[in-house]
Amino acid sequence: MTTASYTLVTGEQVHRIDHPSGLTIYVYPKEGYRSSYAMFGTRYGSVDTAFVRDGRHIEVPEGIAHYLEHKLFENEDCDAFARYAETGASANAFTSFDVTAYLFGCSDNFAASLEILLDFVQKPYFTEQTVQKEQGIIGQEIRMCDDSPDRRVLFNLLRTMYQKHPVRVDIAGTVESISHITPELLYDCYYTFYNLHNMVLCVCGNVDVETVCEVADRVLIPAKDLSLDMALPEEPDEVSAPFVEETMPVAAPLFYLGCKCPVKGRYLSDREMAACELIVDLLTAPSAPLYAALMRDGLINDSFGGEFFEGRSFAMFLLGGESADPKQVQQRIDEELTRLRNEGVDRERFEELRASLYGRMLRRFNSVENAAMCMMDDHFHERAPFAQSEAIAALTAEDVDRILREWMIPAHETLSVVKAKEDV
């Protein structure tokens, strides 16, 4: 077993353990904290519908990663939630585009709760009867999501922005796609992606390395490192279409303006991520001149905001909210982007935003949940723990100018709108 330690800007330390089982473990002790938090994640999400394992090309139904997450809580003996009830831990799980994670938070009985987490995730149990039962449950969940305007405006955008990349497919799949899921397919995906070499455990709070390693030594089952390649298609830089619109019962039109970043087969660097987050603030922060002008002209309300997110071979800016005239909002945003590309970001404004971004990054250290999530994200995106704090400190206005010039151009944009029929 090998270990390494990272000293954070707060003076605290994060310890990395390369466990003999194949699992990478991060332990972030927080002095004075009573609560503890753990996340056990795998580099596996909704985009992984085609992959190559040991030279064999495999294709599986859309939504199977999310489906597998649901089923893993049940095993032959009992439900994992029933076991957590005995320790008092609060447990949950989620599936994103490229990660599935199982988690719990607790104030007491950390070691016992950690044992439950590591144990049930390593014990898949699928039968024809339980798989068919889950199809009805998840099918109902999919139908409810289809009726959500907020979800429709987002996934309409992704389907229109991306031409080939499976990020364009809803994480839960469709009622049709999940009907093809079988126990055999679930086991195939489980033993491909739930390999400890493809996973990470992140714990934070009232924890110590010795306790975590003792539980890991006792519970983890050593895994053989598989030959695994993700079969993601090559995605063009340009969007599939610049506009998509749908009518639904909404009180006010909803919109998302997406800007697709031309990344192929890589994750963004720490500096690129920091620059992209600063650009979001540059456009959507309440202190931004653009925000003030749009608000003054009645084109947006306080729902307007933005985010930047990336995953395996995809990255995008998302700006959105409610507006009676989304196309006019897009035009004003494009005018501001043109000005920024021509003039560059104001250096005084850049320093203000960089200081604000750095402060937000430091606040993540105060939450055990956010800290664990950051460690997992950094690991799966091939970055050192909390490396972005150093990247923000080193960020320059020139870094921001480059991304504004090269990435944020009209050919990379898609506008998605959901509006009421009477607005047509």
Last residue of a domain, one of 166, 198, 230: 230
Q: Are strands 24-29 and 13-18 parallel, antiparallel or unpaired?
A: antiparallel
Q: Is residue 237 part of a domain?
A: no
Output the CA–CA distances (angstroms, integers) from residue 57 to 52, 54, 63, 228, 323, in the order listed. 4, 9, 18, 10, 46
Q: Is residue 376 part of a domain?
A: yes
For the question of residue 86 being annotated catalytic, the response is: no
Least Cα distance to 266 among 311, 221, 214 occurs for 311
Residue 56 has a pLDDT of 81
Can you give the residue range of the structural domain that contains 101?
Answer: 2-230
Last residue of a domain, one of 174, 207, 230: 230
Q: Is residue 157 part of a domain?
A: yes
Domain match, 206 and 275 both: no
Q: Is residue 65 part of a domain?
A: yes
Q: Is residue 201 part of a domain?
A: yes
Domain match, 257 and 149 both: no
pTM: 0.93
Domain match, 327 and 218 both: no
Strand partners, 102: 40, 93
Domain match, 7 and 138 both: yes
- Residue ranges of the chain whose pLDDT lies below 50: 423-424
Domain match, 221 and 328 both: no
Q: Is residue 238 part of a domain?
A: no
Q: Is residue 235 part of a domain?
A: no
Q: Is residue 272 part of a domain?
A: yes
Least Cα distance to 407 among 211, 297, 272, 311 occurs for 272
Q: pLDDT tens digits for 66-106?
A: 999 999 998 877 789 999 999 999 999 999 999 999 999 99
Domain match, 218 and 320 both: no
Least Cα distance to 163 among 67, 260, 256 occurs for 260
Q: Mapped to the 3 state alphabet, what secondary structure does 209-235 carry?
A: HHHHHHHHHHHCCCCCCCCEEECCCCC
Catalytic residue, chosen from 31, 59, 62, 69, is 69
Domain match, 86 and 150 both: yes
Residue 313 has a pLDDT of 87
Last residue of a domain, one of 230, 251, 276: 230
Domain match, 159 and 109 both: yes
What's the number of domains the chain is made of? 2
CATH number at residue 69: 3.30.830.10
Residue 232 has a pLDDT of 83
Domain match, 182 and 53 both: yes
Domain match, 47 and 115 both: yes
Residue 424 has a pLDDT of 45
Domain match, 41 and 175 both: yes
Burial (CB count within 10 angstroms: exposed 0-12, middle 13-18, buried 19+), residue 351 = exposed
Domain match, 206 and 248 both: no
